[in-house]
Amino acid sequence: MKPSIMDDPKKKEITKKRHFSFRINIFFFITFLLFSVLIVRLAILQFVQAKDLKAAENTNTNQTNKIAPIRGNIYDSTKSPLAYTIPVQSLFFRIEPSQQDKDEVIRMANKLKTDVFDKYGKPDAKKLEPAEIVLAMDLGYDINKNKVKDPSYYWVPRKIKTDLSNKEIAYLLEHRDEFKWLEVTEESIRTYELDDMDTDGVPSTIAPQLIGYLKSYSTEKAKEMYQDNENSKEYLDTENVGFDGIERMYQDELRGKNGYKIYPVNAAMKIIGRATVTKPTKGNNLYLSINKDIQKTAEKAIADQIAFLHTPYARNDAFIKYGANAQAGYAVAMEVDTGRVVTMANYPDYNSNEWTGGISQATLDDVGSYIANGSITTAYPKYTDKERPKHPSSIVFMGSTIKPLSVLIGLTEKLITPSNQYYYDSGTFTFGKANSTSSISNSGRTAYGNLDASSSIEHSSNTYMSAKVGIPFYSKYGGENPAVTDKWAEYLAKFGLGVKTGSGLPGEIAGSNDFAKNAKKDSYQSAMVYASWGQNEKTTTLQLAQFAATLGSRGKRMKPLYVDEIRSFEGELVKKVEPEVLEDSSALFAKNDWNTIIHGMKSGAEGIEELPYNVARKTGTSTQAVAGGTIDNAVFIAFAPVENPKLAVAVVVPEGGYGRYGASPIAAKIFQAYDAANEGILTKLGGGKRPW
C-alpha cells in the first residue's frame, strides 16, 4: 500500500515549523499593538492632558487632625490614686440650625429624664432636670421658651451627660428615632478619688483645693491663662487643661504630647487615601508628697473641731466660747529637713468631680467662695454678699505665733539678752508721745511679773514684746522713717513671711506686711509695737508652716515640695524631686539665741501635751477688725520632736478664738497621723518625754 502523507516525517516537520512561525508572528503582532497603544497613551498624557494633570496634582494635599493625649495620673506618696483618667461614654446634642422645633426639643428633654436618666442612670449619677438638659443643649432658650441668648456656634456638639450607664446607652440606641439629634461618643474624663462620706452625707474628694481641677481650653480664660505657655499651641479646644492646683502647676508633665491623623485629600477636601496615624504620647504620672491618710485625718480634724466649737458645751466654756462662729479651717504639715508637704487641708471642701463635663451654675454658686486654696490665698466659707464683710478670710494676722521670731530678732540686735535680764510685766504697756499716748495689754490684762526672753514666749506677753523689742527696734533704726519697717520686713522674709514661699503653686500670695502701710498712716512707733506681737502681719497657712519649719531647722528655709517623683505612664522614672534650701540664715543667729527661743515654745496647747514626745509650739490669737466689730482668729505653729525636728505644722481657724482651744487640737491629730504613717518616727526621734 502506498504510505499516507501524514506518515511522511519530512512533511510533518515542515507543517510543525509553519505552525510555530504563525504563532510567533501573532505574538509579535499583539505585542506591537500593545506598545503602540501605550505610546499613543503616553503621548496624550504628555502633550494633551499634561496641563490638567499638573493642576490636579497641585490641588491634592494632606489634612492633619490632632489627637489629644491621655492625661497622666496623680498619686499620693503611698501610690494611692488621687486623680486619674478613664474612658466613658457621653451623650451629646447636635445642633442643626433652624431645624429643631422647640416643643419637640422640650418633649425630648422630659423623655430623657423620665425614660432614660431616672430609670437607667447610675445610682450615684447627678440627677438632671429637663430645664438643665435644655440649657445644656444651648439652643438659645430655656424650658419655658424664654430667650436666653443666641448660640455662639453650631458645629460643636453640646455635652448633656457624662459617664452613661450601659443600660442608658442600650436604651438610646434602641430608640434612635425618638432621640434624633443625640449621639453617644466615647471620651476620656478626669476622675478624682472620693473620700468617705462626711458627717452630713456629702461626698468630698481628697485635697481638692490642692489637686485642683480641669476646664475646657476653649474658654477665653483658659487661653489667657496659657498664653505664655509655649506648648499651648498644641492644645485642642475640645480638651481640658489644668485650672488650679497641681493640675495647673504640672500641666506640661501631665498632658503628654499630641498624636496625629494625616489624611490625603483632593481640592474638594474629600479623602482620597488611607490615613497615616501617629499615636499620642501619654502624660507622665505624678507621685505627690501628700499622704492620703494624713490628709484625710487633717480634713476630718478641722471639720470635727469646728463642729465641737458649735456645741453647747463649747459655747458655755469661758475660753472656748470665743470660737463659736468659726466656719472654716486650714492646716499644712511640712517636713523640716526636706520641705515635703505631707498635708494641705482646707475646710470646707468640695467634690472635684463636679467639674467633670462642666460644673453647673447652681453648684458653682454653692462652693465658689472656697474653691480657691485657702492655705495659700484668699478664700471664704459660704456667706451672702451682705454677710461676708462681717467675717475674716483665710488670710489672718499671725498673732502671737510671731513671738519666737520677735525675741530672736531682739537677741540678735542686742536689744535684749538671753538671761539675767528681766522685764516686769504689769499686764499693760503705754507708748507714744507725752501728750498722745496709747496702751496695749496682754490677753485678759494678765500680769505675768518678771519675765526673761524665754518665759516671755511661754507666757505670750504682749507687753514684753512691745517694751523689749518693738520700741527698741524702732529707736535703733531711726524712728519715724522707712528704714525701721524695711529692716523688720527683711528679718521676716528670711523665715518666709511677707514673701511667697517659693512653692510654685498657682495663685499663691505673699500675705501682707501691714506694718509698712500702717506706719505711714499712723506712726512707725505704733506699727512696730503691734508688729512685735503679730498684729500687723497677715500670712497664709503655708507661710506659717514654712516659718515653723525654719524655726525647727534653726534657719534653713526649705522650698515647699508637693511632688516626690515624676514617672512615665509606663512607670519609668523621669525626675526625682530633691529638697531645695531657699535661704540659709542659720549663721546669722547665735546658737544660744536659738536655744533661748525654742526653750520658750511651751505655751499651753490642747492635745499637744498628750503626745509621747516633746513639741515646740506657739499659740496665737489674732484680733482682726471686721464690719461691725472685732473677732479673734485661732492660730497655731509647732514642730516636733524638739530634740531632732522632723515635722512642722501650722493651723489657722478664722474666728476660732484662742489658738490653744481652736487650733492646737487639730495639729495634735496631724502629728499623731504622721507618726502612725511613718512607723513611729517622731516617737523614735524624740526618745520619749523629758524636761527641755
CB under 8 Å to 462, separation ≥6 — which residues?
A: 400, 429, 440, 441, 442, 443, 533
Strand partners, 271: 265
- The three-class DSSP label of residue 65 is strand
Q: Which residue reads 523688720 in cell numbers?
A: 488
What average pLDDT score do residues 82-108 get?
81
Strand partners, 438: 431
Alpha carbon distance 253, 247 (integer Å)? 10
Alpha carbon distance 650, 497 (integer Å)? 13
Q: Which residue reads 530678732 in cell numbers?
A: 409
- State the sign of the Cα–Cα–Cα–Cα dihedral 405, 409, 415, 418: positive
Alpha carbon distance 442, 535 (integer Å)? 13
Alpha carbon distance 23, 72 (integer Å)? 73
- What pLDDT score was predicted for residue 314? 94
- What pLDDT score was predicted for residue 99? 61
Tell me the pLDDT band of 55, cut-offs 50, 70 and 90: low
Contacts by residues 429-436 (CB-CB < 8 Å, ≥ 24 positions apart): 429/462, 429/463, 429/466, 429/467, 429/529, 431/466, 431/471, 431/525, 431/526, 431/529, 432/523, 432/525, 432/526
Alpha carbon distance 130, 137 (integer Å)? 11
Q: Starting from the edge strand earliest in sequence, which strands make up the sheet with 329-335, in order?
A: 341-347, 329-335, 647-653, 629-640, 616-626
- Mean pLDDT (the chain) is 89
Q: Give tens-digit pLDDT for 151-166.
A: 655 555 678 888 899 9
For residue 392, cis peptide bond before it (omega within 30 degrees of 0) = no
% of residues, the chain, pLDDT over 70: 90
Given the candidates 3.40.710.10, 3.40.50.1000, 3.30.300.30, 3.40.50.150, the CATH classification of the domain at 396-666+681-686 is: 3.40.710.10
Kindly report which listed range (1-10, 433-442, 583-592, 598-607) carries the lowest average pLDDT score.
1-10
**In this model, does residue 1 exceed pLDDT 60?**
no
Q: How many other C-beta atoms can be found within 10 angstroms of the C-beta atom of residue 349?
A: 24
Alpha carbon distance 159, 92 (integer Å)? 4
Residue by residue, DSSP assigns 525-582 as HHHHHHHTTTSSEEE-HHHHHHHHHHHHTTSEEEPPB-EEEEE-TTS-EEEEPPP-EE
CATH 3.40.710.10-classified regions of the chain = 396-666+681-686
**In this model, does residue 273 exceed pLDDT 70?**
no
Q: Give tens-digit pLDDT for 480-509.
A: 999 999 999 999 999 999 999 999 999 999
Contact 351, 340 (CB under 8 A): no
